[in-house]
Amino acid sequence: MRLGLRSRVALTFGVLSLLVAITVSGATYFLARTYFVSQRENATLTRALVDARAASAGLASGLDPAQVLQEVPSVGTSQSLLFVDGEWYTTGITVSPESLPEDISRVTVESGGAIQSLSLGSDPYFVVSVRLPEGGAYVEVSSLRDLNDTFVVSGWVLAGLALLAFLAGTLIGRYAGGRLLRPLRDLSTSAGRIAKGDLTARVPATGDPDLDPIAESFNEMAEAVQSRIARERRFSANVSHELRSPLTSVLGTAELLERRKGNFTPRDSELVDVLARQVRRLSQMVLDLLEIGRMTGDADLQVETSDIARTCREVLRERGIDEALVIGDEPLVRVDPRRFERIVANLVDNAQRHGGGLTSVLIVEDAGTTRVCVDDAGPGVDPDDVARLFEPFARGTRGGESDGAGLGLALVREQALAMGAGIAVERSPAGGARFVLSLADDL
């Protein structure tokens, strides 16, 4: 699964913070360990040299080696040993002479001293051996366990801090990603509103010199789109209005000729029928264009609580269709009655003309949404036609009459958008097409 941009930014910040923390922590740990070990070894070496002189003075004064070791001060967990006349003497049993390297006394006698770090069991030690003028060697063993424990604790602390740095970097990256993506979300929201018909949507300026040009460009584009659509609507409305009066006269003349076609020859009578039918079609087209021209995305709604089932029955009754085809629930829904009636009328007319006849108007109320489903007896809608079905002057490939102008479903979409409703086409369970109007109860 591909991560979103915000998650990728957060993860990048987190990984970078972790790498920086690991680098700084590792360098700090290495330098600190090197420094403290060096300091401990230097301190042990210095103390061993001083204690060796004290041991040498004690032996020179005739003291027994065991007494000499008693006179040598013990610091911390250090342990002193004497190698005199081939025998070992010690002040404790923590480190036995047998656990020391076998050749430490020989190397000490031959070279004057020896230094070695070693591990006895699981504990680290630092061993300093100094040759005595009287012969033999003085050995001081210092435990590094306390220092090693400190390093272990420090290592876990640094690892925890690195993890905290990763978490902090991730949170900072998520916050920064959210701030960076906020203008894009505003842009996406405004684009979605425009796609749904709200041409007044704009992207607010943020005051950021890098982001404001994007918002300004989008707003200019939205303004241009709104102005162009408004001009097209005005042009369509003006043309339709200018055509309405002469068309009314032509329609009256055509209807007069149609009433008297019995006086004409069969050929002339047929021409009169064609003329009357085409004039009626043109007149209906002009009325639809006027309706589309009057509609705008921000048109005021006359919202009231309506019995939509009764409205559907009235639409069917006006068209001489059996009212029993309205089935399902009978909810009271807040709608614009005029717009709702026009939507249902256009869907019913579409079913009658192009869908083989209306089969049912199903009303279903569910979870705050009311669905009005208009089913027909046609072959359904070709999937290739669905995307453009609600566009002006679009015609599907279904059966039925084909003399429509293709504006009925475009009006349905415009009216639905104005009410904040949804319109879609599905496959009817009976096999035809099903046009679904979705109404929110909180309109």
For 34-41, which contacts have Cβ atoms below 8 Å and span 24 or more sequence positions? 36/147, 36/150, 36/151, 37/144, 37/147, 40/126, 40/142, 40/144, 40/147, 41/115, 41/117, 41/126
User: Are 231 and 289 within one domain?
Assistant: yes
Q: Tell me: do 256 and 369 sit in the same domain.
A: no
Q: Which two tokens stand for residue 126?
A: 């630092």
User: Measured between alpha carbons, how far apart are the two ends of the chain, in Å?
Assistant: 38
| Amino acid identity at 33 | R
Is residue 207 in some structural domain? no
pLDDT at 347: 92
For residue 401, pLDDT beyond 60: no
- Please indicate, yes or no, if residue 169 is contained in any of the structural domains: no
- CATH assignment at residue 400: 3.30.565.10
272 and 321 co-located in one domain: no
Q: Where are the beta strands (DSSP E) in 212-345?
A: 304-307, 326-328, 332-335
Question: Are 146 and 9 members of one domain?
Answer: yes
Q: What angle do the packed helices 212-259 and 266-294 form, to 10 degrees?
A: 150
Q: Is the pLDDT of residue 394 over 80?
A: no
Q: Residue 442's pLDDT is what?
A: 65
- Is 276 in the same domain as 322? no
Does 131 reside within a domain? yes
The token duo for 339 is 């717009």
Q: Does 96 map to a domain?
A: yes
Q: How confident is the model at residue 344 (pLDDT cuts 50, 70, 90)?
A: very high
Instruction: Examine residue 311 and state whether it is found in any structural domain, yes or no.
Output: yes
Q: How confident is the model at residue 57 (pLDDT cuts 50, 70, 90)?
A: confident
What are 268-314's pLDDT values in tens digits? 888 888 888 888 777 777 776 666 666 554 456 788 999 999 999 99
For residue 219, tell me if it sits in a domain.
yes
Domain carrying residue 236: 212-294
Same domain assignment for residues 281 and 308: no
Range with lowest mean pLDDT among 211-215, 237-241, 243-247: 237-241
Residues 115 and 238 in one domain: no
Phi, psi (rounded to 5 degrees) for 109: -65, -40
- Residue 59 in any domain: the answer is yes
Residue at a domain's end among 294, 316, 335: 294
User: What angle, rounded to 10 degrees, do the helices at 212-259 and 145-195 form?
Assistant: 30
CA dist 123 and 140 (Å) reads 16
| pLDDT the model gives residue 94 | 75
pLDDT digits (tens, 9 = 90+) for 150-204: 888 988 998 898 899 889 888 888 888 787 777 778 888 888 888 776 778 888 8
411 against 344, higher pLDDT: 344
Q: Is there a single domain that holds both residue 281 and residue 318?
A: no
Q: How far apart are CA 63 and CA 70, in angstroms?
A: 10
Last residue of a domain, one of 134, 151, 168: 151
Residues 73-99 have a mean pLDDT of 78
* Cα–Cα distance list, 173 to 19, 105, 342 (Å): 15, 62, 52
278 and 356 belong to one structural domain: no
Q: Which residues contact 433 (CB under 8 A, 6 or more apart)?
A: 351, 355, 375, 376, 378, 380, 381, 398, 425, 426, 427
Q: What's the pLDDT tens digit per position in 345-391? A: 989 988 988 888 999 999 999 888 999 999 998 888 877 777 778 77
Of the segments 99-103, 167-171, 283-287, 428-432, which one has the largest average pLDDT value?
A: 167-171
Average pLDDT, the chain: 82
Residue 62 region by backbone torsions, left for phi larger than 0, else alpha for psi between -120 and 50, else beta = left
pLDDT at 266 over 50: yes
Residue 404: pLDDT above 70? no
Residue 172 resides in a domain: no
Q: Which residue has the tokens 């020989």?
A: 106
Lowest-pLDDT choice from 42-46, 57-61, 105-109, 336-340? 105-109
Check residue 294 and give its pLDDT.
Answer: 60
Identify the pLDDT of residue 297: 45
User: What is the per-residue pLDDT for 358?
Assistant: 93
pLDDT category of residue 253 using cuts at 50, 70 and 90: confident
Counting the structural domains of the chain, the total is 3
Checking if the pLDDT of 425 tops 50, the result is: yes
What span, in angstroms and rounded, lies between the C-alpha atoms of 334 and 305? 4
Q: Which residue has the higher pLDDT, 76 or 333?
A: 333
State whether 136 and 231 are in the same domain: no
The reply to whether 93 and 112 lie within a common domain is: yes
Residue that is last in its domain, among 101, 124, 151: 151
Asked whether the predicted pLDDT for residue 87 surpasses 70, the reply is: yes
- The full 3-state SS of 60-81, as one line of letters, equals HCCCCHHHHHHHCCCCCCCEEE
Whichever domain contains 110, its CATH number is: 3.30.450
